A and B are shown apart, each in its own frame.
Chain A
Amino acid sequence: MIVAEAKPLEEIADLLGEVRKILVVGCGGCVTVCLAGGEKEVGIIAAALRMMYKKNGKELETLEVTLTRQCDPEYVEMLEKYITDDVDCILSLACGVGVQFLAERYNKWVVPALNTKFAGGTIEHGVWEERCGLCGECILHKTGGICPIIRCSKSILNGPCGGSQNGRCEVNKDIPCAWQLIYDRLKALNKLELLLEIQPPKDWSKARDGGPRKVVREDVRIE
């Protein structure tokens, strides 16, 4: 899933500035799972903002809606009835994709309430870790199912570098060295010979370096 984290409340208030009525929109997708922008967080952030404005002697009205998914025009459409003239701003609690889908559809000022972090998963309650760098050409079959693109601090394809020690990355003792993990895993699977092959430079044009990407599936298009 996409893992995101709420911006500090003061920052959100700062971004909103002089507003009287805002629409606080949550998302029922990834950000609900990672406890950043679901229905519950919408309620919490809206209440906290109202209190904050009140303390500063200002009135703030909040409308709260949570869509099934903000990255889907079908659901974004359902917001229409809330977009009235007196709404000064939409505060989106979705990932960056959802924020943009709202901005594309409605002629309103949209403010992001979250910082979108990475593609990852839950390690334990309250802990999420990055797993995929969205490189556009997956090579996990070569590395025992451990991604060197995003989990190695230097995206090395022929690792580990000389900074790997005691299983930790040179950058920080809290980061496991991805290449130690890859080594251990391939050793356990009796496939160490995979590491002897020199991996050629990656084709980054498949990643964001090739420009904004788009997937078109003719077989499922309607028309």
Chain B
Amino acid sequence: MSWKAGSKLEKLLSQGHFVVTGEVGPPKHASPDGILRHAELLKDYVDAINLTDNQTAIVRMSSIAAGVHVLRAGCEPIIQMTVRDRNRIALQSDLLGAYSLGIRNVLCLSGDHQSFGNHPTAKNVHDVDSIQLIRIVKDLRDEKRFACGEEIKEHEPRFFIGAAANPFADPFEFRVLRLEKKINAGADFIQTQCIFDMERFERFMAMVRERGLHKKAYILAGVTPLKSARAARYMQQSVAGMIVPEEIINRMEKAKDPKAEGVAICVEQIKHLRTIEGVAGVHIMAIMWEDIIPTIVKEAGLYPRPQAE
């Protein structure tokens, strides 16, 4: 078997394992200690860890540097790369650098607008969009050429290419078509926005299967454990492109132990997602609550994790 990138993530997915990925937000300082601790903690419970790229436009350690720390801790990184802060020159340069440091998975994103972050007066770049970035990463790998068309004579970077999909954004009818565009551009795997509205996600997946997209890329369903009813309400009302049904908020409100309830809901969701045809794994986003991931993975019956052959 010849691999596109040969990352552990690619191997596990292509061997048919139901994959689990986690997410770590790099720190707002220059010490790797927190990342190393999280990587140690998650190492046996997830197959790869996403490193966010200045998430919500707040300055943090770069995802590539954080990815290298994760790698050193013996864990597989997926670096997120947004097109908000870098033009095609910087993006490709960083891709070469990331690959040289051992990183093999990249998730291509638009990035949250800088008005959300701690530097709202910054200039944004958006030289290319996320779909164009996917194609650039694919062309570096499969065509051995830079975005300008120039040939890469040797040592082309060979990434396993990820993209995001948000079944909860609008227009709903177009979401599957846009996913298809991303897959046509070169996405090998997809991580979705966190799912709370299961009914809408099922409709999305039905459309995905209708177009055979689950056979062209691996779809990892995003989940997020809720910590409190307030957090749920906040996501429902203030996070763009997110749907949190009232019944989930009700469950959180009624719970004696909201954190335990949040974990229970998340575990139920994962068990359900496993039964949906075309879902190749789950992506657990528990930013600021990474410590809970092992519990969720165990309770969802996904522990121990498989070894890549």
Is B truly associated with A?
A: yes
The chain A residue with its CB closest to the CB of B185 is A198
B170 within 8 A of A: yes
Taking a contact as CB atoms closer than 8 A, the residue among A153, A155, A164 that contacts B170 in the complex is A164
Is B287 located at the chain interface by the 8 A CB criterion?
no
Residue A8 at the B interface, CB < 8 A? no
For the complex formed, measure the closest distance between the CB of B199 and the CB atoms of chain A, giving whole angstroms. Answer: 17
Size of the chain B interface, CB-CB below 8 angstroms: 36
Residues of A within 8 A of B (CB): 153-167, 170-172, 177, 180, 183-184, 195-196, 198-201, 204
Quick one: which of B88, B126, B240 contacts A165, CB cutoff 8 A?
B240
A156 and B126 within 8 A (CB): yes
Is B65's CB within 8 Å of the partner chain A? no
Q: Which residues of B are at the interface with A, using a C-beta cutoff of 8 A?
A: 83-84, 88, 110-113, 115, 124, 126-132, 135-136, 147, 164-166, 168-171, 174, 177-178, 180-181, 184-185, 193, 240-241
Known: A163-B241, A164-B169. A156 touches B129 (CB 8 A): yes
Chain B residue at minimum C-beta to C-beta distance from A204:
B127
| Residue of A154, A180, A195, A196 with most partner-chain B CB within 10 A | A154
Q: Is the CB of B170 within 8 A of A171?
A: no
For A167, list chain B residues within 8 Å (CB): 170
B131 — nearest CB in chain A belongs to which residue?
Answer: A158
Task: Check B135–A198 contact: CB distance below 8 A.
Answer: yes
Shortest Cβ distance from A156 into B: residue: B129
CB <8 Å contact, A201 and B132? yes
* B242 nearest in chain A by CB position: A165
The smallest beta-carbon distance between B38 and chain A, in angstroms, is 25
When chains A and B are docked, how far (Å) is the Cα of A156 from the Cα of B195?
25
Closest residue of chain A to B186, judged by CB? A198
Residues of B within 8 A of A198 (CB): 131-132, 135, 181, 184-185
Contact A196 B129 (CB under 8 A): no
Known: A171-B113, A198-B185. 15 other contacts (CB 8 A): A154-B84, A154-B126, A154-B129, A158-B130, A160-B170, A160-B178, A162-B110, A163-B110, A165-B170, A165-B240, A180-B170, A198-B131, A198-B135, A201-B128, A201-B136
